[in-house]
């Protein structure tokens, strides 16, 4: 069958927001459940503490995102939950009161759409929480609960809180706080489908699906896609799959996945010896040892051969997320490495996703350190901010950088050069991850001339569609026509 993915995603630049840490509202007319004490915004984040970011605050900062060049927002979970990350869902129809509830979400959604920003929510449909009403009924009523078949119980009474005893019901990673749904149960399945439909009907532009490979029920995600697309054919469905996702990317389930297969090679090539080996050992994607240009080219070629081109254009590319070490920490707080990784991110096929604060230089190790409060402007790294803003603007002004075909042009030492080609437009991207300036000769180009659009490199045209690029050490450049 012909694969069809949402066209808007191919041109999007996403911004991932962890709601508790992005912005507190300046409003004073808040409901009492929001007027509660929080951790200091500037203090180090803790596993269980709240800093009080909310959706009113997001709405107040949409102009910042618009000015940065963002076109879509991906929110980590926003539904009622007894956790700051909200992956422990209590109610799938209620936005968490600390975030402002359903009223704040409706306001934020309208404000985002008024600015041309899409909104994608996090769907945690593999598991719920001990506080989820239907599971809570099992805790209260045991095997007399009418929702018994919504979960898989092995023994009674349920052990939901005593860590000294084994968990006797199916839960995600054996964490008793996260009871898994029984997706084989028709009522459970229908409930989740209706949750997905409801929020699309409210106007969201798609779902990011948490750990979807854990759902083993045959046809579950096929039905989910069919029902979501019946409401909005352009809704984006993206799964959190960290490995080869071919099984889910045949056109009948997801439009894309969080592209960690890009993340590892991009950081390993850009960082070189600045990569933090100790941090690299803590993540599930390879950012160490360093890759030379040839090795990076091989990784890229393999990745681009995995999926149909229609799917490649709607992958969600990233170098940071709430689940992993911040990119800046992963590259040893080296600004040049961060800039090179961002250049690769913004020029790769698919939709780039910026984890909130990466653009202003937030660093952070594993959770909870990677979930710091967004800093005040006087603490921004202006160099990193400028890199992000310039590259986003360039991507937005050159369609070839968004949907143009990808071709490696040169891979020598630590210098990698590739092109994005669309019709008669050609853009050339060169990344020198090495410690010395290099020259690269490109012959038989599809362009007769061009100029440096980004970076401090130089180009000399030698005639016959041949260009000599000069790229400074630890730097990148983009060549094209204005």
Q: Are 128 and 89 in contact (CB under 8 A)?
A: yes
Cβ 104 vs Cβ 155: under 8 Å: no
Residue 363 C-alpha from the chain's centroid: 16
Q: Is 210 considered catalytic here?
A: yes
Q: Where are the alpha helices (DSSP H) in 115-203?
A: 133-141, 186-201
Rounded to an integer, what distance in angstroms lies between the CA atom of residue 195 and that of residue 102? Answer: 14
Q: Which of 20, 240, 255, 359 is catalytic?
A: 240
Please identify which of the residues 20, 96, 210, 359 carries the catalytic annotation. 210
Task: Give φ, ψ of 414 to 5 degrees.
Answer: -110, 25
Sign of CA dihedral 28, 33, 35, 39: negative
Torsion sign, CA atoms 95, 98, 103, 108: negative
Element (H, E) at 302: helix 293-306
Helix (H, G, I), strand (E, B) or coil at 428: strand
Q: How far apart are CA 253 and CA 478, in angstroms?
A: 35
Contact residues for 26 (Cβ-Cβ < 8 A; gap 6+) = 57, 60
Task: Tell me if residue 218 is catalytic.
Answer: no
Element counts in the chain: helices (H) and strands (E): 16, 18
Which residues form the catalytic set?
210, 240
């Amino acid at each position: 069958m012909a694969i069809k993915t949402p066209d808007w995603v191919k041109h999007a630049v996403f911004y991932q927001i962890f709601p508790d840490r992005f912005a507190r509202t300046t409003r004073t007319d808040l409901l009492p459940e929001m007027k509660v004490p929080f951790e200091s915004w500037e203090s180090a984040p803790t596993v269980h503490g709240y800093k009080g970011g909310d959706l009113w605050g997001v709405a107040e900062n949409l102009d910042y995102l618009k000015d940065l060049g963002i076109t879509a927002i991906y929110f980590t979970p926003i539904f009622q939950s007894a956790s700051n990350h909200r992956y422990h869902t209590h109610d799938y129809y209620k936005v968490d009161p600390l975030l402002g509830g359903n009223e704040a979400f409706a306001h934020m959604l309208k404000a985002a759409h008024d600015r041309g920003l899409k909104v994608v929510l996090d769907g945690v449909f593999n598991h719920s929480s001990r506080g989820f009403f239907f599971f809570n009924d099992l805790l209260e009523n045991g095997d007399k609960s009418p929702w018994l078949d919504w979960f898989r119980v092995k023994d009674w009474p349920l052990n939901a809180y005593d860590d000294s005893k084994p968990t006797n019901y199916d839960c995600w990673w054996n964490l008793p706080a996260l009871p898994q749904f029984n997706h084989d149960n028709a009522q459970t399945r229908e409930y989740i489908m209706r949750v997905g439909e409801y929020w699309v009907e409210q106007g969201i532009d798609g779902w990011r699906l948490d750990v979807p490979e854990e759902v083993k029920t045959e046809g579950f995600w096929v039905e989910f896609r069919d029902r979501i697309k019946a409401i909005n054919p352009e809704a984006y469905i993206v799964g959190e799959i960290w490995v080869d996702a071919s099984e889910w990317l045949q056109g009948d389930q997801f439009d894309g996945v969080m592209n960690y297969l890009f993340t590892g090679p991009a950081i390993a090539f850009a960082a070189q010896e600045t990569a933090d080996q100790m941090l690299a050992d803590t993540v599930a994607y390879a950012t160490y040892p360093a890759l030379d240009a040839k090795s990076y080219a091989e990784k890229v070629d393999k990745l681009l051969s995995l999926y149909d081109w229609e799917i490649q254009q709607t992958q969600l590319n990233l170098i940071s997320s709430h689940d992993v070490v911040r990119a800046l920490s992963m590259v040893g707080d080296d600004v040049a490495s961060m800039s090179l990784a961002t250049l690769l991110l913004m020029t790769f096929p698919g939709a780039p996703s910026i984890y909130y604060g990466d653009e202003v230089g937030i660093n952070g190790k594993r959770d909870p350190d990677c979930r710091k409060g967004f800093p005040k402007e006087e603490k921004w790294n202006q160099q990193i901010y400028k890199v992000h803003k310039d590259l986003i603007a360039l991507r937005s002004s050159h369609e070839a950088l968004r949907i143009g075909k990808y071709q490696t042009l040169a891979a020598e030492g630590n210098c990698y050069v590739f092109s994005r080609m669309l019709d008669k437009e050609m853009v050339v991207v060169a990344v020198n991850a090495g410690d010395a300036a290099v020259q690269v000769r490109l012959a038989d180009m599809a362009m007769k001339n061009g100029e440096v659009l980004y970076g401090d490199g130089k180009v000399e045209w030698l005639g016959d569609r041949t260009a000599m690029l000069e790229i400074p050490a630890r730097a990148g450049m983009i060549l094209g026509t204005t």
